[in-house]
Copies of this chain bind each other. A is one copy, B any other.
C-alpha cells in the first residue's frame, strides 16, 4: 500500500515512461500508437502504461478494441506542491543562515561546526 507521491515519482523514474508522458502532452494516443517508436514489445509498453495509470498520471478510455490513453495533468500539481514546499523551506533556512552569519560577522565571532 504505497502512497501516491511514491508511485508518481517511481513512475517518472523510468525514461520510457517519461517519454510517454511527454508525448501524451501533445495528443491522446492508443496503446499501439504509443508503443510504435520503442524497441520493446507492445506488452512491455502496456505494463508501463499500467504503472502510469496506477500513479494516476494517465487514464484509458475504451473505443472499440482501442484504448485511447489520456494524460491527467493535475498530478503534476502533487509533485510541484511537494517540491515547492521543501524548496521554500530550504530557502528560508538559507536566509536564516545568512542572517546568522551576517550577525556573527557583525559581532566579530568566528564561525564553527555545522548548524545544530
Residue ranges of A at the interface with B (Cβ–Cβ < 8 Å): 3, 5-7, 9-10, 12-15, 18, 21-22, 25-30, 61, 63, 68, 71, 73, 76, 79-80, 82-84, 86-87, 89-91, 93-94, 113-116
Chain B proximity of A7: nearest CB distance (Å): 8
Residues of B within 8 A of A82 (CB): 18
The answer to whether B25 and A93 have CB atoms under 8 Å apart is yes
Chain B proximity of A57: nearest CB distance (Å): 11
The answer to whether B28 and A86 have CB atoms under 8 Å apart is no
The answer to whether A83 and B86 have CB atoms under 8 Å apart is no
User: Given A87-B73, A91-B73, A114-B28 in contact, is the A13-B13 Cβ separation under 8 Å?
Assistant: yes
